[in-house]
Structure 1
Amino acid sequence: MEEGSSVKRQVIALGGGGFSMEPDNLALDRYILSQSEEKEPRICFIPTASGDKPEYIRRFYEAFGRLTCKPCHLSLFEPLFQNLHDFVLEQDILYVGGGSTRNLLVLWQEWELDGIIAEAYQNGVILAGISAGANCWFEDGVTDPLNGPLYAIEGLGMLSGSICPHFDGEIKRRPAYLEAIGKGTMKEGYGVDDGAALHFVDEQLIHVICSRRNTPAYKISRQGVETFEEAIPAAYLD
């Protein structure tokens, strides 16, 4: 992506869905591709949060091989790139997969990938992701360790506030998120259901879209110790 004076910064954060959860419904994935100005955008899958699981990578290529794009992936466990900085900046879209947000952030910091991605964002590379790949763009996110309670984790902070992916898709998510905001341990933010996504341009929410009918997102705010949910209607992608 070439640097220019009218660069548009974009983040598309999926609560759930996309190729990894809905392999027969690629509406959200098509939407991500459609936001690029390139006719055949270069989209790079970053599966760090899953430990670069081969099956996850295979499913990415299976899905995006059916779409109009140039797919590739970035593995930190079996790297194929010669220069990480140049490889990332050559992409039009970065699509971050789900898994462990904590592991993702630790590895990105070790490889200095967090700073490289921040530079790519400023240069107009579209950032997208699901679950952990949505958490990472915000100041705060909700993550769940194996056999442990949900907890708040700091993200990279491209976007202000917090996010809770799988808001209704996993039974513990909604109450844990509302409690954390009520206690002030997490910033106000967004609960995003499976099948819904938030689209930010220049750090402002401009669209909520969904691949499943009647699937909203929620703006979560706090007054004192009380939390309030405001449903944000989503445009259905048919």
Structure 2
Amino acid sequence: MAADEPTILATSGGLRASARLDWEVGPLTRHAVDLAGVTGRAPRVCFLGTACGDDRRLAATFFDNAWREGWTGSHLAVLPMPNVEDVREHLLSQDVIWVWGGSVAGLLALWRLHGLDTVMREAWQAGVVLTGVSAGSICWHAGGTTDSFGPELRPVTNGLALLPWSNGVHYDSEPARRPLFQSLIADGTLPTGYATDDGAGLLYRGTAMAGALAERAGAGAYRVARGPDGTATEERLDVRRVG
């Protein structure tokens, strides 16, 4: 089973606090799994914690969540070496690929080193739903803002560019994100893009933005473009609540 067309749900959410686990799956991630349209069997969901150095505790918590959600869970690690024999075959056999946050710069470097940039494009084109949070949101875009290099945010301009847009994450919770994202678009460092508050996500069908979603009341999503006078213009998008 695959989505009807290439589908990405890029988020600043998809997880929430849990009374029993370190964290638990949130409505945005459940929605990403629903988008795969799986019937008659458990959805196959693969977790990638590359941006956090393939932390085994994250993977273990994911498997606890997958069991609770009724998914067939797997994870792909590249450190210290790939944990599956054939990375391409494994990812193309999934219904959903879920990418965790952390260092987007490290994620992109490791993915390119292992050829995952090419495999991710192939999976996307084949209808595997791609989703993720923070670094796992920016990576699908042309670029965005990152703290991969230190506490002071910097631009990242070498995203996979499955989507031709830039991406801003944690727009409401990290005060430096919004002004930097706007200034980088205004000066042409980043192309026109979309940003999400914590708890919001962007649904793309093909390369077109098909809708903004939120799992938290008040969470917003925004389109930021370079205006004719060289400044950034920001438009708040209509958001549909999920979960």
- Say whether residues 1:226 and 2:222 are aligned partners: no
Cα distance, 1:125–1:58 mapped onto 2, change above 3 Å: same
C-alpha distance in structure 1 between counterparts of 2:142 and 2:8, whole Å: 14
Per-residue CA deviation, residues 106-161 of structure 1 (Å, 9 max, x unaligned), is: 11111111111111111111111111111110111211135342122120111111
1:31 aligns with 2:31: yes
* 1:23-81 CA-partner distances (Å, limit 9, x unpaired): 35621121111101213210100110110112221222222221132111001115321
Whether the 8 Å contact between 1:164 and 1:177 is mirrored in structure 2 is yes
Contact 2:106–2:148 under 8 Å retained in 1: no
Runs of 4+, deviation exceeding 3 Å? 20-25
Q: Which amino acid aligns with 1:9?
A: P
**Aligned residue in 1 for 2:55:** 53
Which of 185, 192, 213 is 1:188 aligned to? 192
**What's the counterpart of residue 18 of structure 1?**
14
Give the length in aligned residue pairs: 234
- Of 114-123 and 64-73, the range deviating more from structure 2: 64-73
Note closer, same or farther for the CA distance 1:20–1:212 as it changes in structure 2 (3 Å cut).
closer
Deviation at 1:191, TM superposition (A): 1.4
Whichever residue aligns with residue 137 of structure 1, its letter is W
- CA–CA separation in structure 1 for the residues paired with 2:202 and 2:70: 22
Structure 1: gaps of 5 or more residues: none
% identical equivalent positions: 32
1:72 maps to 2:74: yes
Cα drift, residue 211 of structure 1 = 0.7
Q: Aligned equivalents of 1:72 and 1:24: distance in 2?
A: 16
Q: Structure 1 residues 43, 138: closer, same or farther in 2, change over 3 A?
A: same
CA distance in 1, matches of 2:35, 2:101: 21
Q: Which amino acid aligns with 1:225?
A: G
Letter in 2 for 1:162: S
Matches within 5 A, 1:147-158: 147-153=150-156, 154-158=158-162
Amino acid in the other structure paired with 1:28: L
Q: TM-score, normalised by structure 2?
A: 0.90
- CA drift of 1:226 comes to 1.4
Aligned alpha-carbon RMSD (Å):
1.8
2:185 is paired with a residue whose SS is helix
Query: Aligned match of 1:85 in 65, 85, 88?
Result: 88
How many angstroms apart in 2 are the aligned matches of 1:174 and 1:167? 6
Change (3 A) 1:102 1:25: closer
Give the alignment partner of residue 126 of structure 2, picking from 98, 123, 128: 123
Matching residue's letter, 1:95: W
TM-score, reference length from structure 1: 0.92
**Any idea what SS the aligned residue of 2:36 has?**
coil
- Partner Cα distance (2:68, 2:117) in 1: 30
